Structure 1
Amino acid sequence: MDGTLLNNHMRVPTANIEAIKKAQAQGIEFITATGRGMSHAKISLDEAKIHVPMILLNGAHVVNAQRETIFTIPIGLQKTLAVMDAIEKAGLYYEIFTADHVYSENQSMRIEFVSEHLLSRDPELSKKMAIAASSEHLTLTPIDYVENIRQTLKETGEDVLKIIAFDKNGPERLKKVTIELEEIGDLAIAASELTNIEINHVNAQKGIALKQFAEQRGFTSDEVMAFGDNFNDVSMLTYAGNSYAMGNAALEIKKIAKHVTDTNEENGVATAIEKILSE
């Protein structure tokens, strides 16, 4: 969704909405695949009146068009605690995702990272404007601030589906902690921005979830088209027979995908859908 289906204002452009509906009218199924959880993903989709199945949390949670859970792939409690220990030792801010909640222990850090994200998307914003916009954005994206995430998980018994860690200084410290996390084993570690890493169970990947979704409906990979812009999209772009990197995608992603479309600000999803329909 982010950097692909959505523009930099976190909305689905009208051109994308119209292209999706046009494809659906011709019998083509559409599914979103995102690192977001349900509570965050549905905001932009509801506004656009797009009600489709969703691959959430990088493939750890899959729901049907009625938003009923099809399956989840949790990290597991012991691995979750080990990941949290490594992230905290590295001094990184992180958030924990379950099927129904996003947990954080630090509201000020959350606002800071969202404002940095908005600044990277729109350099014309001032720092003050970005902080104001992030505060408004956060009112629309539910998050539960708790004193102790470990205690909260113990009390609720919820399965952890994704962990995201941030470092505003970029990849260097993230690379170091990634090496430590890889030693834990059975984890998929990717990034949706240069300033974060996303941790899931090794079987919770967009490509794996998309493959399962397609095969259940009798489709082969050659009948699947996928869009992406960042490293948590690699497994999906590798699987799909017709893969498109966004014009704003990382260079490595453009090398992996079979085609490159326009940027998310230029309605690149619509451009590629219209091209396929015309053929």
Structure 2
Amino acid sequence: MKLVAIDLDGTLLHKDKKISEENARAIREAQSHGITVSICTGRAVSDVLHLLEEAGLTCPVIGANGAVIVEGNNTVCAFPLLKEEAYSVLQEMEKEHVFYHLHTNQGIYTPTYGEQGIMAEIQGLQKMDETIDSEQLWQRAQGYLQQYGQQHIASFTSIWNEELIVYKLLPFSYSLDKLARIEQKARQFASIFVTSSSTNNLEINHKEANKGNGLQAMADHLSIPYEHTVAIGDNLNDLPMMKVAGTSIAMGNALNEIKAYCDFTTLPHDMHGVAHAIRTVILKQAM
């Protein structure tokens, strides 16, 4: 095993949305054995690099669901959305007044109405069902609202220019009807691929941008055969990289569909499941 691709949310990150010291130590152990550990996530590269820096780690990154692959200061390859199609989907997202992340070569952009929009959705749900835990819903949204490096904009049109490259669109909403209409709009375009990493989001990329193609691009760049790669994840957007990898490992908290597909299942993310997988599967097979 020469290359390990690890998802972040629900996988490498603990409940506090940080990389635990236990997981960080295990990654260093793998690196000391000559294994390249890459982060493969739907998050923006800048956000991932911030998390890695906090944990004292250096790793190549497959970001925005495989839309951009970076090693050090070099972009290995990228699969951006067609701008006219991204523009049309963004119009629909702002029409629905949903919170979103706009991943670009110039950073992550989010709408200024984000917090108010999410709070209004939660209040609307409470009116229909008083038993709903509004605090829990608000806390769930914080992972999106507080993601590192966000720049707030009144509208995406304010930053639209010729130099802008759009890697991914991520709408987040507690209204499944709104998400359904946005998904319907996105699926009108043959070059767009839509997946999800949560009940309340969509991940909208170019059809060539997925974690599987990202892992292939990283392996090709490092001249590592695919059969010597490992993928660790928990959700549906991790499945493409698991299909590419020679060995696939599901988190203990993964969807049943992911567990059924994978070769191994490790402990849940809040029990340092990545560290457990590295020590009990990856390092054992590498020796």
TM-score band w.r.t. shorter chain? 0.7 to 0.9
Query: Secondary structure at 2:36's aligned position in 1?
Result: coil
Cα distance in 2 for partners of 1:135, 1:212 equals 32
- Given residue 221 of structure 2, which amino acid in structure 1 is its aligned partner? Q
Measure the CA separation in 1 of the matches of 2:81 and 2:139. Answer: 34
Query: Given the superposition, is the C-alpha separation of residues 103 and 110 from structure 1 closer, same or farther in structure 2, using an over 3 Å criterion?
Result: farther
Residue equivalent to 1:253 = 258
User: Match of 2:182, SS?
Assistant: helix
Task: Check if 1:165 corresponds to 2:147.
Answer: no
Bigger shift: 99-108 or 179-188?
Answer: 99-108
The change in CA–CA distance for 1:129 and 1:205 in structure 2 (over 3 A counts) is closer
What's the TM-score, normalizing by structure 1? 0.85
Q: Secondary structure at the match of 1:199?
A: strand
The answer for the alignment partner of 1:181 in structure 2 is 186
> Bigger shift: 36-45 or 20-29?
36-45
How far off is 1:108 after superposition?
Answer: 4.0
1:121 matched residue in structure 2: none
Moved more, 24-33 or 248-257: 248-257
Asked if structure 1 preserves the Cα contact closer than 8 Å seen for 2:10 and 2:253, the reply is yes
Residue 69 (structure 1) aligned with residue 75 (structure 2): yes
Give deviations 1:92-144, integer Å, cap 9, x for gaps.
3322110231112234438948xx9xxxxxxxxx8569868977995671211
Task: Could you tell me which runs of 5 or more consecutive residues in structure 2 were left unpaired when the two chains were aligned.
Answer: 1-7, 123-132
Partner of 1:270: 275
Summarize the Cα distance change of 1:108–1:78 in structure 2 as closer, same or farther, 3 Å threshold: closer
Residues 164-217 of structure 1: CA distance to partner in whole angstroms, max 9, x if unpaired? 1122144x5434432332121111211111100010111111110111211232
Q: Is the 8 A contact 1:82 1:184 kept in 2?
A: no
SS in 2 for 1:163: strand
Aligned-pair identity (%): 28
Matches of 2:37 and 2:215 in 1, distance apart?
Answer: 11
Q: After alignment, is 195-204 or 98-107 more displaced? A: 98-107
Judge conservation of contact 2:115–2:145 (CA < 8 Å) in 1. Answer: no
- Is residue 211 of structure 1 aligned with residue 216 of structure 2? yes
Change in Cα spacing, 1:75 to 1:140, as seen in structure 2 (3 Å) is closer
Give the Cα separation in 1 of the matches to 2:95 and 2:108.
Answer: 21
Q: Output the amino acid matched with 1:67.
A: N
1:3/1:79 Cα in 2 relative to 1: closer, same or farther (>3 Å)?
same
* Residue 16 of structure 1: aligned partner: 23
Secondary structure of 2:26 counterpart: helix
Q: 2:55 matched to which residue of 1?
A: 48
| Aligned-residue RMSD, C-alpha | 2.7
Does structure 1 retain, via aligned residues, the 8 Å contact 2:104–2:165? Answer: yes
Alignment of 1:1-279 (within 5 A): 1-64=8-71, 66-109=72-115, 112=118, 141-154=148-161, 157-170=163-176, 173-276=178-281, 277-279=283-285
Counting matched residue pairs gives 265
Q: Which moved more, 1:190-199 or 1:94-103?
A: 94-103
1:10-47 deviation line (CA, Å, top 9, x unaligned): 11112211111111111111111111112211222111
8 Å CA contact retained: 2:23, 2:274 = yes
Question: What are structure 1's unaligned runs of at least 5 residues?
Answer: 117-125
Report if the CA contact (8 A) 1:53-1:67 is conserved: no
Distance 2:111 2:194 in 1: 22
| 3-state SS, counterpart of residue 159 of structure 2 | helix
Greater strand share, structure number: 2
User: Aligned partner of 1:30: which letter?
Assistant: V
245 and 203 in structure 1: CA distance in 2 versus 1, 3 angstrom threshold:
same
Q: Aligned to 1:161, what secondary structure does the other structure show?
A: strand
Residue 129 of structure 2 is matched in structure 1 by none
CA distance 1:167–1:149, shift in 2 (3 Å):
same
Structure 1 pair 80–13 and aligned structure 2 pair: CA distance change class (3 A): same
Residue 30 of structure 1: SS of its match in structure 2? strand
> What is the DSSP-based 3-state SS (H/G/I as helix, E as strand, rest coil) of the residue aligned with 1:227?
strand
Report the alpha carbon displacement of residue 222 of structure 1 after superposing the two structures with TM. 1.6
